[in-house]
Amino acid sequence: MTEGILQRPLEPPENAVQRFREYLASRPKPLRFTEAQRQMIHFIFSRHNHFDAEQLCSELDRAQLNISRATVYRTLNKLVSAGLLRRVQLGNRVLYEHDYGYPQHEHLVCDHCGKVIEFEAPQLEAMYEEVCRQYGFQPSRHSLVVRGICLECVRSRSPRRRLDWI
């Protein structure tokens, strides 16, 4: 589940398809673009959520899209290489999220229910830039993940249990 303050419209799926086609064609040995890849990109870019590969396979099955597990995994790797998706490491779990057409943001992750809350923090961006400048470091990307308990989970626990978290 994803929620947060990022209220930007989604990039149209066709833009992501075109960018992916350009990426495949630009490879030293151009790669083939398939109908299964097109369907998968439309599926992913028609909504904004964080997902892992197995969740995506299940959702594609429920949508009755006949895309093999191997194609899903291969295409996810290519979408990351193409700059369309970003991998987010959350402990031992790897999630994917939109990278193309989406602003830099950070994540709050609930240890109880797994909810992922996105937020933008310009003050953190400025701090990252300053630290990199001080060290002459050229950043390519960054990720901040804050783990804890979301408001809904705190409210759903009994008052006595809340004391366990102090």
Decide which of 79, 102, 125 is a domain's last residue.
Answer: 102
In this prediction, residue 8 has a pLDDT band, given cuts at 50, 70 and 90, of low
pLDDT per residue over 25-81, tens digit each?
A: 999 999 999 999 999 999 999 888 889 999 999 999 999 999 999 999 999 999 999
> What does the block give as tokens for 84?
């369309």
Residue pair 122/82 in contact by the 8 Å Cβ criterion: no
Q: State whether 93 and 111 are in the same domain.
A: no
Q: State whether 37 and 87 are in the same domain.
A: yes
Q: State whether 69 and 116 are in the same domain.
A: no
Q: How many CA atoms lie within 13 A of 34 on its CB side?
A: 12
Q: Which domain holds residue 121?
A: 104-166
Nearest alpha carbon to residue 101 among 164, 11, 16: 11
The pLDDT score that the predictor gives to residue 5 is: 43
Decide which of 102, 119, 140 is a domain's last residue.
Answer: 102
* Dihedral angle computed from the Cα positions of residues 87, 89, 105 and 46, in that order, rounded to the nearest 10 degrees: 40
pLDDT per residue over 9-19, tens digit each?
A: 566 788 899 99
- Is the model's pLDDT at 96 over the cut of 80? yes
Q: State whether 65 and 112 are in the same domain.
A: no
Q: Which CATH number fits the domain that encloses residue 139?
A: 3.30.1490.190
Q: State whether 81 and 6 are in the same domain.
A: yes
Q: State whether 83 and 147 are in the same domain.
A: no
Decide which of 87, 102, 117 is a domain's last residue.
Answer: 102
Q: Which CATH number fits the domain that encloses residue 53?
A: 1.10.10.10
Q: State whether 84 and 112 are in the same domain.
A: no
